[in-house]
């Protein structure tokens, strides 16, 4: 009986959060180890289904970097990255689209449906959901010369999200699962960082939360200690000092952009923790790093 009472207390503790987020949209970027470990994959699916059944509208944007790399390795193509972005030539883009849209997306949809949810897989091409343009980044020079423009190939940035299809799915109680492939005005497909897609989707849906799953405990300081809460201004300082680097750069930048565009709160959490999403959504302590304006 004592154990049952403790379970009831946990449910009561979660009630204010369930009430707060009822009928609200939460965008979740799904990636990292949580997409590889079988038990974590199952837990993720169950977490998403639970959110839907209690009246929260989850929208999933997934990555798939390790899966892409495995296929590239079999094809003897060496992956290359600049500032956390995959350099994507035409051949690599074919692999990216095949793996993300044709394999990873369908596996996630199948997993959610298998456990009792109603999920539908999408890419940016579906209903022109994610419009994109070619991305270029600048590399500063040590001299007075102008910055060097770096060509990332078929890497894109989001120019527009057309949420009509997502709203239609929501009315029918489907859970959208989005592969981060956009389409340009030239009708070419573009590989877009999944964190940036999740941020853009959250912006256009005016989501209550944006949650990014990653393979670290959250944003770390120079001593590798977790920073539980950060403001956008504090992130700028950490970026300038080099404390935030590599693949964490697009994560914090997309959180900043989402907050500026009206998303209420953003979070970077450890997807290796069982039920990390539920812990963040429905407990006082939360997990990972919360980023606010």
Q: What percent of the chain has pLDDT over 70?
A: 96
In a domain, 4, yes or no: no
Q: How confident is the model over 256-262, as a mean pLDDT? A: 93
Position with higher pLDDT, 292 vs 284: 292
Mean pLDDT of the chain: 90
Residue 77 placed within a domain: yes
Segment among 141-145, 166-170, 177-181, 287-291 with least mean pLDDT = 141-145
> What is the total count of domains within the chain?
1
Question: DSSP labels for 222-245?
Answer: TTS-B-SEEEHHHHHHHHHHTSS-
Q: Is 33 helix (H, G, I), strand (E, B) or coil?
A: helix
- What own/partner pairs with CB < 8 Å and gap ≥ 24 does 15-24 have? 17/281, 17/282, 17/283, 18/54, 18/55, 18/56, 18/282, 21/56, 21/208, 21/209, 21/281, 22/54, 22/55, 22/56, 23/55, 23/56, 23/57, 24/56, 24/57, 24/207, 24/208, 24/209
Asked whether residue 80 is assigned to any structural domain, the reply reads yes
Q: In the sheet that 229-231 helps form, which strands lie side by side, from edge to edge? A: 119-123, 175-179, 57-62, 25-30, 209-214, 265-270, 289-292, 229-231
- What integer is the mean pLDDT of 141-153? 69
| Cβ–Cβ under 8 Å, residues 158 and 192 | yes
Question: Would residue 240 count as lying in a domain?
Answer: yes
What are φ and ψ of residue 275, in 5° steps? 55, 40
Instruction: Please check whether residue 88 lies inside any domain of the structure.
Output: yes
pLDDT at 144 over 70: no
Q: How many percent of the chain have pLDDT more than 90?
A: 67
**H or E element in which residue 114 lies:** helix 105-114
Within a domain: residue 120? yes
Most confident segment among 5-9, 95-99, 221-225: 95-99
C-beta separation of 168 from 101 below 8 A? no
Look at residue 165 in the predicted model and tell me its pLDDT.
94
284 belongs to a structural domain = no
pLDDT at 149 > cutoff 80:
no
pTM of the model: 0.91
CATH of residue 115's domain is 3.40.1160.10
Q: 10 in a domain, yes or no?
A: no
Query: What range does the domain containing 273 cover?
Result: 33-279
CB neighbours (10 Å) of residue 229? 12
C-alpha to C-alpha distance for 192 and 187, rounded to whole angstroms = 15
CA geometry: angle 287, 290, 293, nearest 5 deg: 170
Among 57-66, 211-220, 239-248, which stretch is predicted with the lowest mean pLDDT?
Answer: 239-248
Average pLDDT over residues 166-178: 94
pLDDT at position 154 over 90: yes
């Amino acid at each position: 009986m004592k154990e049952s009472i403790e379970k009831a207390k946990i449910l009561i503790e979660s009630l204010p959060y369930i009430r707060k987020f009822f009928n609200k949209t939460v965008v979740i970027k799904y990636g990292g180890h949580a997409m590889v470990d079988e038990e974590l994959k199952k837990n993720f699916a169950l977490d998403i289904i639970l959110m839907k059944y209690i009246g929260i509208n989850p929208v999933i944007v997934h990555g798939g970097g390790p899966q892409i790399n495995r296929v590239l390795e079999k094809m003897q193509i060496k992956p290359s990255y600049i500032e956390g972005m995959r350099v994507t030539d035409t051949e690599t883009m074919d692999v990216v689209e095949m793996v993300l849209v044709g394999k990873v997306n369908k596996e996630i949809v199948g997993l959610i449906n298998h456990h009792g949810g109603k999920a539908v897989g999408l890419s940016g091409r579906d209903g022109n959901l994610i419009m994109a343009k070619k991305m270029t980044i600048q590399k500063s020079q040590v001299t007075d010369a102008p910055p060097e423009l770096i060509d990332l190939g078929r890497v894109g940035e989001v120019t527009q999200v057309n949420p009509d299809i997502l709203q239609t799915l929501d009315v029918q109680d489907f859970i959208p699962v989005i592969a981060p492939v956009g389409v340009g005005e030239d009708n070419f497909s573009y590989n877009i960082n999944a964190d940036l897609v999740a941020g853009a989707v959250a912006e256009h849906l005016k989501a209550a939360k944006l949650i990014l799953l990653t393979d670290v405990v959250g944003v770390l300081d120079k001593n590798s200690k977790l920073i539980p809460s950060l403001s956008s201004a504090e992130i700028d300082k950490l970026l300038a000092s080099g404390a935030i680097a590599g693949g964490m750069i697009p994560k914090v930048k997309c959180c900043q952009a989402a907050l500026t565009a009206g998303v209420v709160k953003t979070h970077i959490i450890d997807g290796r923790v069982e039920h990390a999403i539920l812990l963040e959504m429905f407990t006082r302590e939360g997990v990972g790093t919360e980023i606010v304006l």
